[in-house]
Structures are given as C-alpha cells and as structure tokens.
C-alpha cells in the first residue's frame, strides 16, 4: 500500500499542490493527465529523486519521504526503457538482486517466472542494442519486477512503442498484473491505457489532482469541464432548451461525444453551419440555440433548410 499525503512542491515554473492519493495493495492505479501536468514530477517524488516541500510518502506504513531511492524498494519503468547498455539482458534483469548480493544463480532462479511470463527467454544473452522497442520495454519491466517492489511505477511506458507493439504490450501488462498482483502506479496521457488497465484512476492537471475514482464512474460523472473534455467529451454546452429536451435541471452544462449522436426525426433541432468530409466520416459543425456543437456521422445527412434533428445517445451532466 502506498499513500501520498498532502504532497506539495513549488518549483520556479510549476507547483504541485497538495496531492493526496492512496493506492491499495495489488491495485493498478493510473494517473491520467495532459503533458506537463506534473505526473512525472510526482513519480520522481515517489522514487525519492525529488523531495517535496511538504507532505509525506508512506509505503507499507513506513514514512519514506526522506529516504534515498535505493532504500525504498520501488520498481521504475521509464518511457525510454533506461536499460544498462553495457550489460546483457539477463544481467539487466538481475541487477537489483545482484546489488543486494544475491548470488548470480539464485538471482536467475528468482526471476525465472517473470522471464517466462514475459516470454523473453530467447533474448537473455543479447545486449539492449540488439532488441526491438517492445523487447526493451519487457526487459525494463522484468528488471523492475525482479526486486519484488512494494510499488511498480510506470512512466508513460508505452509511448515510445509503435501502435501494434503498443497494443500487444498493453494486453501483456494487463495479464501480468492479473497473474502477479503487483501494486502499480502507471502514469499516462492515454485514455485507452487508463480504461484497459486501471482499477482506479486519478486525473491531474496543472499540478492539481482533479478527480479520483473508477474510470467508468468518472466517465459517467465527470466532476468538471476539464475532466469531461479530457475524457473525450468534445461537446460541452449550456443550453436550457437542450436540458428541457433531455429532462434535466436548468443551468447545468451537458457533455456528450460527437460520435455518440444519431440523426433522428424525433430528436432536437439544430442548425447546420458546415459539413466537412474527413476520410470515412462527415463532421458537421452546427448550432443549438447559441451553442456550437460537432457531430460525426458515417452517412451524409438529409438536410432540410439547414436544419437537422438529432438524438444524443449518451450524455453526462457536469457537476461544477
């Protein structure tokens, strides 16, 4: 279990403000936020490379805030793999154990199950420069897991991989967590990763924690316009005629996704401004009352005097 308690850090150009996160044992926790939101800085505080101005980091009930990185038993997987290029794969993986003076043979035995799970038996004698991106990231992951860390930190681990490798790695990571039940804090700006991997997520922006919870719950109930927009709700409008049509309270903002709208005769009327053909879909810019909205559809709609009726398949109400 790891607790981040009231952690604040003021840097010249950036402030991390009063961050509170509690990650349970075996939980896969995803910290989601745009680039430059403070995610990596928070990871660096957990590793011990950066000391916060205030607040505490507690790992398994021990306050480690002032402990150096080597005393924290943390696994750290970085986006650029950070492999030791002068060591063979097997020596990379067993590095943490060898530092702990575990004899080479015993070290190999204790990482064997990780190597088997990640299916990297055939590259153990290679050097990092001989590996593909996906293989490198597996080695980096195996190396971090080899020390049975109290928590595994993953900093945008899939960002340097090509799309196909990324998808495969994502599934393997999911499976590996199901098998090994390690505690993980995974930092990313990718919704897909958060959706697939997370038990819970936290959303961070400009150094502030915005919302914590299960992905589904936050998606169904975004606490702010920022969260909704970050989660892909590209229409966020305040239009009482719409609220009336949807049967919800007045003066509440409603968020919905441009591809979760259908054109339907018994829908609400909108005014078309323009239609743009984007490869296999049509993007319709329209107005509802005074608000602008975007609709994406696969078929060119039948329009009557610039008017169209739409039905919103799924919407959420912004609570702030």
Partner 1 sequence: MHIKKRDMRYNKSFKLTIWIISIIFILFILLPIIRILSLISPSSIFTQLLTPQNIDSVEITLYAATISTIIIIFFGFPLAYLLSRFNFPGKKIIDAIVEIPIMIPHSVVGIGLLFVFAASEPGGILFNYFGISFGYNILAVVMAYIFVSGTYAIKTMEEAIKSMPPRIEIVARTLGASQLQVIFRIVLPQTARSILTGAILSWSRAVSEVGAILIVAPYIIPGYESIAGVEVYNQFEVTGLEGAVGISSLLIIISLTIFIILKIIQGQERLFYVPRLRT
| Binding positions for partner 1, rule: CB under 8 A | 44, 47-49, 68-70, 72-76, 78, 80, 82-86, 95-96, 99-100, 127, 129, 133, 143-144, 147, 153, 160
CB 39 within 8 A of CB 31: yes
Q: Rounded to the nearest 5 degrees, what angle is found at the Cα of 202, between the Cα atoms of 234 and 54?
A: 130
Burial grade of 246 (CB within 10 A; 0-12, 13-18, 19 or more): middle
Of the two residues 37 and 47, which places its CB atom closer to partner 1 in the complex?
47
Both tokens assigned to 263? 């054109």
CB of 137 to partner 1, least distance (A): 11
Of the two residues 76 and 233, which places its CB atom closer to partner 1 in the complex?
76
**Residue 68 CA neighbour count, 13 Å, CB half:** 1
CB of 98 to partner 1, least distance (A): 9
H or E element at residue 134: helix 133-146
Of the two residues 8 and 73, which places its CB atom closer to partner 1 in the complex?
73
CB of 75 to partner 1, least distance (A): 7
**3-state SS class at 92:** helix
In sequence order, which residues have a C-beta less than 8 Å from that of residue 57 and are 6 or more positions away? 2, 3, 4, 5, 7, 45, 46, 63, 64, 65
Of the two residues 129 and 279, which places its CB atom closer to partner 1 in the complex?
129
Of the two residues 66 and 314, which places its CB atom closer to partner 1 in the complex?
66
CB of 149 to partner 1, least distance (A): 8
CB of 224 to partner 1, least distance (A): 32
Residue pointed to by tokens 């595994």 = 152
CB of 81 to partner 1, least distance (A): 9
Burial grade of 29 (CB within 10 A; 0-12, 13-18, 19 or more): buried
CB 102 within 8 A of CB 82: no
H or E element at residue 17: strand 15-23
CB of 95 to partner 1, least distance (A): 6
Of the two residues 96 and 207, which places its CB atom closer to partner 1 in the complex?
96
Of the two residues 137 and 297, which places its CB atom closer to partner 1 in the complex?
137
CB of 32 to partner 1, least distance (A): 21
Of the two residues 49 and 303, which places its CB atom closer to partner 1 in the complex?
49
Both tokens assigned to 190? 């990718």
3-state SS track over 183-220: CEEEEECCHHHHHHHCCEEEEEECCEEEEEECHHHHHH
């Amino acid at each position: 279990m790891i607790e981040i308690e009231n952690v604040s850090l003021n840097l010249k150009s950036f402030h991390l403000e009063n961050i509170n996160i509690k990650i349970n044992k075996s939980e896969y926790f995803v910290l989601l936020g745009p680039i430059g939101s403070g995610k990596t800085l928070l990871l660096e505080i957990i590793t011990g490379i950066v000391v916060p101005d205030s607040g505490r980091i507690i790992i398994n009930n021990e306050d480690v805030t002032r402990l150096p990185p080597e005393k924290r038993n943390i696994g750290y997987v970085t986006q650029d793999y950070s492999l030791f290029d002068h060591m063979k794969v097997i020596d990379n993986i067993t590095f943490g154990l060898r530092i702990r003076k575990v004899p080479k043979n015993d070290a190999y035995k204790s990482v064997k199950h990780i190597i088997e799970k990640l299916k990297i038996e055939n590259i153990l004698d290679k050097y990092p420069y001989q590996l593909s991106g996906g293989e490198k990231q597996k080695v980096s992951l195996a190396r971090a897991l080899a020390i049975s860390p109290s928590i595994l930190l993953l900093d945008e681990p899939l960002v340097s991989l090509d799309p196909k490798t990324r998808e495969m790695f994502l599934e393997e990571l999911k499976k590996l967590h199901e098998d090994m039940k390690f505690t993980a804090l995974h930092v990313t700006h990718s919704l897909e990763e958060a959706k697939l991997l997370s038990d819970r997520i936290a959303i961070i922006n400009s150094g502030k924690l915005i919302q914590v919870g299960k992905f589904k719950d936050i998606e169904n109930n975004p606490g702010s316009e920022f969260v909704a927009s970050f989660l892909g709700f590209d229409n966020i409008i305040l239009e009482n005629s719409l609220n009336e049509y949807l049967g919800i309270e007045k003066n509440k903002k409603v968020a919905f996704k441009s591809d979760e709208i259908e054109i339907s005769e018994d829908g609400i009327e909108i005014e078309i401004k323009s239609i743009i053909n984007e490869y296999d879909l049509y993007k319709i810019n329209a107005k509802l009352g005074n608000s602008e909205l975007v609709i994406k559809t696969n078929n060119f709609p039948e329009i009557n005097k610039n008017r169209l009726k739409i039905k919103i398949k799924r919407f959420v109400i912004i609570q702030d």
